[in-house]
Amino acid sequence: MAVAAAALLAFSTLAALAKEPPPSGAKKLSELVALVEQRADFAYIADVEWSDKGYDVTYFTKDGAKVEIKYDPVTATPMNLQ
């Protein structure tokens, strides 16, 4: 039973990691990170995740505020800022 549970856990972990790659023409992740680092009051990046809809970047400002922004992978423009 434990072996089956371990196999199921390993398979589900691999399935979660198998995401579609960014589209052709997408900006390099290093370019996106450089853009985020230039934002006003930037302190540090906490997390960057890729989904089929873009890059989800979480960073903190110098005053400790948490900022979450989704970026278009091709243009590297914020998609959820008004």
Our CA dihedral for 12, 70, 65, 39, rounded to 10 degrees, sits at 130
- The stretch 9-27 carries a mean pLDDT of 70
- The stretch 18-23 carries a mean pLDDT of 82
Count of structural domains within the chain: 1
- Domain contains 36: yes
- Domain contains 76: no
74 vs 1, residue with greater confidence: 74
- Domain contains 39: yes
| Residue 45, token pair as written in the block | 């990046």
The span from the CA of 56 to the CA of 69, in Å, is 6
> Among residues 78, 72, 4, 74, which one has the least CA distance to residue 39?
78
Quick one: pLDDT at residue 53?
Answer: 85
Structural domain of residue 13, as residue ranges? Answer: 2-71
- Domain contains 80: no
| Each residue's pLDDT tens digit, 32-79 | 999 999 999 999 999 999 988 899 999 999 999 999 999 999 999 999
